[in-house]
Amino acid sequence: MKIIVINGPNLNMLGKREPGIYGNETLDDLRKYVKDEFKDDVDIEFFQSNHEGYIIDKLHEANEEFDGVVINPGAFTHYSYAIHDAIKSISTKVVEVHISNIHQREEFRQKSVTASACIGQISGFGFESYILGIKSLLKQI
């Protein structure tokens, strides 16, 4: 089984950006946490970009190369109809995840335009959101 975890804008700043919301751990810590959880069971690749087009390109590639996608679109969650359309255009199943509970945050963060293109959304459990997203995805594949 081959899964790609796609992280959007500013997730490269984990550990530095708003630690009260996102914690002190880094994107590298997230990679290690996820890979350690699944060890030899699942081949997991990570991708992060601050650029919408690169995320869209990676989603298109995922359709050919991966069995599933876990995506944290970052701020693109709230306004990227292009990422929504890219998710809808592929047959690979996608789960949206968020470290923080977006429904308890600022009003503009409470709406996801990308979630309706996914098979589900998990938010508010820190790095565990990724683990839950992958486990949910594996049950759907």
Specify whether 98 is catalytic. yes
| Alpha carbon of residue 106 to chain centroid | 20
Query: CB-based contacts of 81: which residues, under 8 Å, 6+ apart?
Result: 113
Backbone angles phi, psi at 70, to 5 degrees: -110, 125
51, 60, 84, 98: the active-site residue: 98
H-state helical runs in 15-127: 19-22, 27-38, 52-65, 81-88
Where do we find the tokens 């995805």?
A: 137
How many angstroms separate the CA atoms of 73 and 115, rounded?
10
Contact 108, 11 (CB under 8 A): no
**Catalytic-role residue among 22, 51, 54, 79:** 22
- Active-site residue list: 22, 98
